[in-house]
Amino acid sequence: MTIDRPQGLIEGSGRRGENRRLDQMISARLDPILVAALKDYAAKHGASMSDVLREAALLLLEREEAQKVITFRVSVTNEHRAGIARESFNKEISVAV
């Protein structure tokens, strides 16, 4: 355990902290109303501001990735001599672009 990267029990948290490697720290300017709302959200969910911001960033990236997926619907039908069509195969195929 070192002073700059404490491991183990975090004072006041009541639970063991996760071991993780945080290679990069960034600074951001946020509106005071947004900061207050984020702090309130974090407190209600037992999380830190860093946890909330990290999760929000991941959700933003996942949402963008989801928009890069095209879904094709493939249907194969069999026609009988009587003109009756019967669907025998139906599948949706998602393709990332």
Query: Quick one: what percent of the chain has pLDDT higher than 70?
Result: 62
∠ CA 49-47-30, nearest 5°, is 15
C-alpha Rg value of the chain to the nearest Å: 25
Kindly list the domain boundaries of the chain, sorted by start residue: 32-66
Burial per residue of 46-74, b for 16 or more beta-carbon CB atoms within 10 angstroms, e otherwise? eeeeeebbeeeeeeeeeeeeeeeeeeeee
- Most confident listed range (15-24, 56-65, 75-84): 56-65
Mean of the per-residue pLDDT values for the chain? 76
Centroid of chain to Cα 96: 17
